[in-house]
Amino acid sequence: DTGVSQDPRHKITKRGQNVTFRCDPISEHNRLYWYRQTLGQGPEFLTYFQNEAQLEKSRLLSDRFSAERPKGSFSTLEIQRTEQGDSAMYLCASSHGSGYEQYFGPGTRLTVT
């Protein structure tokens, strides 16, 4: 049973650099979600995809953030011109569809120095 995978698991970058994260969902899942979690807080929703279509973006997703899911399989989340406030755990989840259980990956921990 292959769960949700994320790569890399850890990323340290300098302020102003661009970073890209990858998420591979469970293979038969058509919905894919991105969340961000800071220390001591619950995850916050960023955006989600139904197949390759990006259906919703949270107001947390500033212009420096972009997400893609080109063939409805894996997804990438890019952060341009990183800021120290971007330091967080970025979590990806997938589900069969609307209202179904969401399964999370191990996350990518980003540290911006």
Partner 1 sequence: KQEVTQIPAALSVPEGENLVLNCSFTDSAIYNLQWFRQDPGKGLTSLLLIQSSQREQTSGRLNASLDKSSGRSTLYIAASQPGDSATYLCAVRPKGGADGLTFGKGTHLIIQP
Contact residues for partner 1, defined by CB under 8 A: 4, 6, 31, 33, 35, 40-48, 55-56, 58, 91, 93, 98-99, 101-107, 109
Of the pair 44, 83, the CB lying nearest partner 1 is at 44
CB 16, min distance to partner 1, A: 26
Nearer to partner 1, 16 or 34 (CB): 34
Strand ranges in the chain using DSSP code E only, listed in sequence order: 5-7, 10-13, 19-24, 31-37, 44-50, 53-57, 65-68, 75-79, 88-95, 103-104, 108-112
Beta bridge partners of 92: 34
- List, in sequence order, the alpha helices (H) in 19-106: none
Of 18 and 111, CB closest to partner 1: 111
Minimum CB separation of residue 95 from partner 1 in Å reads 8
Shortest reach from residue 75's CB to partner 1, in Å: 14
